[in-house]
Chain A
Amino acid sequence: MPEDKEVQAVVAFHSQLSTALHSVVVGQRAAIDHVMVALVVGGHVLLTGGAATAKGLIVQCLAKAAKLSFKRIQFTPDLMPSDITGAEILEEDTQTGKRVAQFVSGPIFTNLLMADEINRTPPKTQAALLEAMQEKQVSTSGVTRPLPKPFYVMATKTSLETDGTYPLPEAQQDRFMLNIEMETLSEEEELQVVTGNATAQLAQLPQVIEGEGLLRFQQTVRGIAIPRAVQQYIVNLTAASRPGTPDAIEPVNKYVAWGAGVRATQYLALGAKARAALEGRAAATQDDVKAVALPVMRHRIGVNFRAENDNVKPAQIVGQLLESVR
């Protein structure tokens, strides 16, 4: 069990960072809440939604407010794994004239990596990123190098065009703790964005935490209690999403090709713990689970042809799971 002052430190961070983010980003309240959950769990985030929905802005704000080293990679069809991880190059020693191989680290050696339009790059390059995400280390030429701590990947996926894209295999999507869908802004909010000056506000953003602090918060979150009944609810929720199993609910058997795996169970628990910590509570509740269910489960549920025909989306399936599972 974490000490009360540890939980209070998470609460203070929450209010400072959320104030800072809302001073720059218009709207997107739910997205900001969920990004904060991922930060204190140490999970990676897949940001989806239309163009110009502040995905990049949120990530930039985080880098600045949390004092994290920040790199951005634009994924393109011709990007190579070594463009991400780094490569050995031959360097000439000016004194001896000898050439030696030297490792030049790639942009992945950072605390916060923005992976833009990850589905534009071929599978081997995607795999290089996703392996680093999972293992938190990079192997090149037989040498394994650890990545800096903390290490977060915030990836975006283009959904505007499908031409020339390489869809992320579901096994690889599973490595993202959350899939946060950005909201479309209301007219009022759009007006606010157009008249505002996000760049100037971003420059004034205060620094509220360091990477070290985030690592401590990750420990605190894992120490938050989760009662047996809440654990049982989580397991019921994921089991009900798996078609063809005795626990599956009826819409799942009708529309779902594959359900949420064990990682969903783990991240629902961690997400619920994080939410409890961010709100200063020592134990997670069923409502905490419900609050993170959509971003945890959305990208882990695959729908079948029938669902596409009837225009049923994974988000609706999650909604039905939350309604029917007790």
Chain B
Amino acid sequence: MNDQLIAPSSAALGKEHVARIRAAHDAILGEVRKVIIGQGQVVEEVLTTFFSGGHCLITGVPGLAKTLLISTLGRAMALTFKRIQFTPDLMPSDIVGHELLRESGGQRSLEFVPGAIFSNIVLADEINRTPPKTQAALLEAMQEHQVTSGGASRKLDEPFFVLATQNPIEHEGTYPLPLAQQDRFMFSLIIGYPTKDEELQILDATTSNLAADIRVALTGAELLKAQQIVRLLPAAAPIVKYAVRLAGASRPASPHAPDFVKQYVSIGASLRGSQYLLLGARARAAMEGRLAVSVDDIKAVALPVLRHRIVVNFKADAAKLDSNEIVRRLLEVVPGPKAEL
């Protein structure tokens, strides 16, 4: 990729722009595949958020190579990477940074010591173990791409990407993320155990003397350009309408809500839901080298975009229905553009 990637407007966007994004995607994937075995869907979904400029929440047990995946992506894009272990006693200043009194030549001055958030990629490990004020410090930075400390605002490095993890096992001593804060994550992903075959390959690859060499497949500046192109990708009116309909149908008060939503859902997807459906679909089209966003692109990102934005009620709990199931049913019943034509 090079400077030709800059596209001034949607009209000037050509096949070559998306072709380059596809090539970049394939190259990054090639590097990741050197060290990560299996987890194909999670890798694709994380890459989608990278090309969208969104943040990602991952729920999964420890030891599933979450750190390795995200640090490898960092190396493949020559981005700086930091990991923060969230604990009950972590303070906002541990994340954001703090001011320190320094003396030089008889003069005392306040110097800002940047926290771990000043990095392109931040792995926020076990985010639900930290109290709300510290969670809020991270989430504010995610939204604004800047932090405020000692009255001064400081811009974060670009690109800026947060991958937060939640451990589903331990519920004791955890502080669940409020819905409004979960909403800031573009995708919510679920990572499961590898298959037996994959676990065999992991065993083979990680317990011998082989070391993989990760090359830079895309730079941070190129990624930023790719993100701009993704946002410019044209989406036909019926496709946009479908995204809005899909998110809207998840809201129990909406006239378009199907009966199972009225019965089982207490809170539906916010406006960010429809925005991220469209953005994710655009990224997916670009990663596959297509200029046009399709209904299938929207459908493919529906689960990771909507699952953490839909809250089910106690009736759903009793019927053993979770938000994943609600999204699956929505995909079945909400009419696609073709049905309307």
Q: What would 7 more interface pairs be, CB under 8 Å, given A222-B207, A239-B196, A262-B63?
A: A98-B104, A123-B88, A124-B87, A170-B62, A231-B203, A235-B200, A262-B65
- Cβ B83 vs Cβ A131 within 8 A: yes
Residues in chain A within 8 A of chain B (CB atoms)? 90, 98-99, 101, 122-124, 126-127, 130-131, 139, 141-142, 169-171, 174, 219, 222-223, 226, 231-232, 234-236, 238-239, 242, 245, 247, 257-258, 261-266, 269-270, 273, 302
- A259 CB, nearest partner CB in chain B, Å: 9
A123 lies within 8 A of B89 (CB): yes
Determine the distance from Cα of A141 to Cα of B313 in the docked complex, in whole angstroms. 46
| CB of B181 within 8 Å of the partner chain | no
Interface status of B169 (Cβ within 8 A of chain A)? yes
User: Which B-chain residue is minimally distant from A169 (CB atoms)?
Assistant: B170
A-B residue pairs in contact (CB < 8 Å), sample of 8:
A123-B89, A127-B87, A131-B83, A231-B200, A231-B203, A236-B196, A239-B193, A258-B169
B89 touches A122 (CB 8 A): yes
Quick check: A265 and B62 within 8 Å, CB to CB? no
B193 touches A124 (CB 8 A): no
Q: Across the interface, do B170 and A265 meet the contact criterion of CB distance under 8 Å?
A: no
Residue of B nearest to A218 (CB): B209
Q: Is the CB of A90 within 8 A of B103?
A: yes
A238 CA to B193 CA in the complex, in Å?
Answer: 11
B62, B196, B206: which contacts A261 (Cβ < 8 A)? B62
CB closest residue in chain B, given A246: B196
B193-A242 in contact (CB<8A) = yes
On whether A171 and B62 interact (CB within 8 A), knowing A90-B103, A219-B209, A273-B207, the answer reads: yes
Closest to B205 in A: A266
Instruction: Give the CA-CA distance A258 to B169 in the complex, in Å.
Output: 7
A262, B62: Cα distance in complex, Å: 8
Inter-chain residue pair count (beta carbon < 8 A): 97
From residue B112, how far is it (CB to closest CB) to chain A in Å?
11
Q: Which of A98, A127, A239, A257 contacts B169 (CB 8 A)?
A: A257
CB distance from A117 to the nearest CB of B (A): 18
Contact of A265 among B90, B113, B114, B202 (CB under 8 A): B202
Within the assembled complex, what's the spacing in Å between the Cα atoms of A185 and B61? 37
How close is A263's CB to chain B, nearest CB, in angstroms? 4
B89–A142 touching, CB < 8 Å: no
Given A99-B103, A235-B200, does the pair A266, B206 have CB atoms closer than 8 Å? yes
B64, B102, B196, B208: the one within 8 Å of A101 (CB)? B102
Write out, one digit per residue, whether chain B residues 157-178 have a CB within 8 A of any chain A CB (1) or not (0): 0000000000101100000000
B204 within 8 A of A: yes
Most buried by A among B88, B114, B129, B199: B199
Q: Is the CB of A262 within 8 A of B104?
A: no
The residues of B that contact A142 with a CB separation of less than 8 Å are 113-114
Q: Which residues of B contact A263 (CB under 8 A)?
A: 62-63
Which residues of A sit under 8 angstroms from B63, Cβ to Cβ?
A: 174, 261-264
